[in-house]
Amino acid sequence: MNDLQADAPSEYTVQKGDTLWAISGKFLKEPWKWPQVWQMNRDQIKNPHLIYPGDIIRLDRSGAYPSLSLAGGGGAAVAAGNVVRLQPRTRQEALSGAVPTIPGSAIGPFLSQPLIVETGAMDNLPRIVATEEERVVVGAGNIAYVSGLNTGDPVSWQVFRPGAALTDPETGEVLGLEAVHVGDARVKRFGSPSTIEVTRARQEINTGDRLMPARESSFPSYIPRAPDKLIRGAILSVSGSVVDISQYSIVAINRGSRDGVEVGHVLATIRRGDQAVRNNRPPLIGDLFSFSGKGMDVKPNPVVPDTVVASADPKAPAPVSPAQQALQLPDERSGILFIFRTFEKVSYGIIMKAVRPISVGDIVQTP
C-alpha cells in the first residue's frame, strides 16, 4: 500500500496531547485517510469511536490491505488474541479525556461564534450605546450600557461588530457578512439601558458594537474524509491580521452546505500557476559584450519596444512583445484543508498541512 509511511511502526501507544491526525501521520503519508485504514463503514464514520491515552494502535500487514486495530492499553501488554477491530464500545471515562481528531485549541473559539450572518441581520441586535466614564474603548472589567435588552433575556452575551462582506470571486454574489467576535460580557442590571460588565476582551470594544447570546459549544469528534463529489472553490479570507497562511490558520471558503460541503471534509489547497515570460529573440554577440580599454564588460539585452497596445484594464496581464512568449506555469498542490464548520454559502476550515505558500484566492478542491 503506497499510503503507508516507509517507517510506520507496528504499534503505537496513545499519549496525552495526541490527536488522531498526528497519530495517523505516524502510519500514513496522508493522515486524513485513516478511516479507510481503520476499515470503518459509513455508520461508524457518522458515530465515531473515542480513543484514549494508553490505548494501543496496531498495524496489521498480513492481509491484502494493511489495517489498523485498537486494543485497550493502560501500559499492560495485550495478547494478540484480544486485539479487536474498531467497533462501538462502552467506557467509564470523562469524554474530555478522549483524543481529539484535530487540535481543539486552534478551532475552539470558532465553534461558539456565529462567524457569518446575513447582511442586515445585526441591525436589530442589542447595541452598546455608552461606556463607563465615557471611555472611547472598554476592556475586561469595564462597564458599558446596552439598549435592546429585556428582563428575562440571557445573562451571558458575546460582543460582535460587523466585519467584511464576503463576496464570491467567481460570481460576485455576496455570501454573507463576517461577524467579528471582540469579547464577552455579563448583564449586571436589566433596564433602559441595561448595564453589562465586560468579562473578556479579544479586541477593543467600542460604542456601537452588538450583542448576541452566548452559545454553549462542545468539541465534536470529526472523521476526515474526501467529498463524494467534485467540490472546487476558493479561499475568501484568513482569520487574524496575517498575510501568509500556514499550518493551523483558519480560513473561509466560498462553498457551503448548499454546495455539498460537510463538516469533516478534507480539501486540497491549490496554488495558481504564475505566468512567466520567455524571451524568444536570440541574443546577438553585440548585445552581450562590449569592449573597452579595460577589458570585456557584460551588458544586458536592450529593451525591445512592445508592439502590442496595452490594455486599459489595470488588472489585465502585461502586454507581451513579439520577441517574447507568455508561459503559463501549472497549478501546484500546496496543502490540506480540514472543514470544521459550515454555513449555507460559506465554510470554515483549518490548514492541517502546508508544503507551499498559501494565499487568499487560492483554489480548494476535492483531493
Average pLDDT, stretch 174-196?
A: 92
Average pLDDT, stretch 59-77?
A: 65
- Is 62 part of any domain? yes
Domain termination residue (choose one: 66, 99, 132): 99
Say how far apart CA 75 and CA 16 lie, in whole Å. Answer: 13
The strand pairing partners of 212, in sequence order, are: 158
* Same structural domain, 354 and 241: yes
pTM (2 d.p.): 0.64
Average pLDDT, stretch 170-178?
A: 90
- Is 221 part of any domain? no
235 falls in which pLDDT band (50, 70, 90)?
very high
* Same structural domain, 117 and 165: yes
* Same structural domain, 90 and 73: yes
pLDDT at 229: 92
Q: What is the mean pLDDT of the chain?
A: 76
Residues 328 and 320: beta-carbon distance below 8 Å: no
- Is 224 part of any domain? no
- Is 293 part of any domain? yes
- Kindly report the CATH number assigned to the domain that includes residue 242: 2.40.10
Percent with pLDDT over 90 in the chain? 28
Residues 351 and 246: beta-carbon distance below 8 Å: yes
- Is 218 part of any domain? no
Average pLDDT, stretch 330-354?
A: 90
Domain termination residue (choose one: 70, 99, 128): 99
- Is 46 part of any domain? yes
Count the neighbouring beta carbons within 10 Å of the beta carbon of residue 17.
9
* Same structural domain, 22 and 75: yes
Average pLDDT, stretch 227-250?
A: 85
11 falls in which pLDDT band (50, 70, 90)?
confident
User: Looking at the predicted structure, is the pLDDT value of residue 70 above 80?
Assistant: no
Say how far apart CA 152 and CA 12 lie, in whole Å. Answer: 53
* pLDDT tens sequence across 202-228: 888 999 999 998 876 656 667 788 898
Buried b (16+ CB within 10 A) or exposed e, 296-320: eeeeeeeeeeeeeeeeeeeeeeeee
Residues 251 and 343: beta-carbon distance below 8 Å: no
Give me the number of domains the chain comprises: 4
* Same structural domain, 181 and 269: no
* Same structural domain, 200 and 250: no
Say how far apart CA 264 and CA 300 lie, in whole Å. Answer: 54
* Same structural domain, 239 and 337: yes
* Same structural domain, 125 and 200: yes
* pLDDT tens sequence across 94-117: 444 666 666 666 666 566 566 788
Q: What angle do CA 167, 331, 102 make, to 5 degrees?
A: 70
User: Looking at the predicted structure, is the pLDDT value of residue 365 above 90?
Assistant: yes
Average pLDDT, stretch 327-354?
A: 89
Judged by phi (left if over 0) then psi (alpha if -120 to 50, else beta), residue 157 lies in beta
Average pLDDT, stretch 41-57?
A: 63
- Is 122 part of any domain? yes
Q: Which domain holds residue 17?
A: 11-99
pLDDT at 324: 65
Say how far apart CA 15 and CA 27 lie, in whole Å. Answer: 15
User: Looking at the predicted structure, is the pLDDT value of residue 2 above 80?
Assistant: no
* Same structural domain, 259 and 355: yes
User: Looking at the predicted structure, is the pLDDT value of residue 45 above 70?
Assistant: no
53-57, 87-91, 354-358, range with the lowest pLDDT: 87-91
* Same structural domain, 184 and 239: no
* Same structural domain, 269 and 281: no
79-93, 209-223, 260-274, 278-292, range with the lowest pLDDT: 79-93
CA dihedral 337, 342, 344, 346 (to 10 degrees): -40
- Is 311 part of any domain? no
Place of cell 454555513: 343
* Same structural domain, 245 and 360: yes
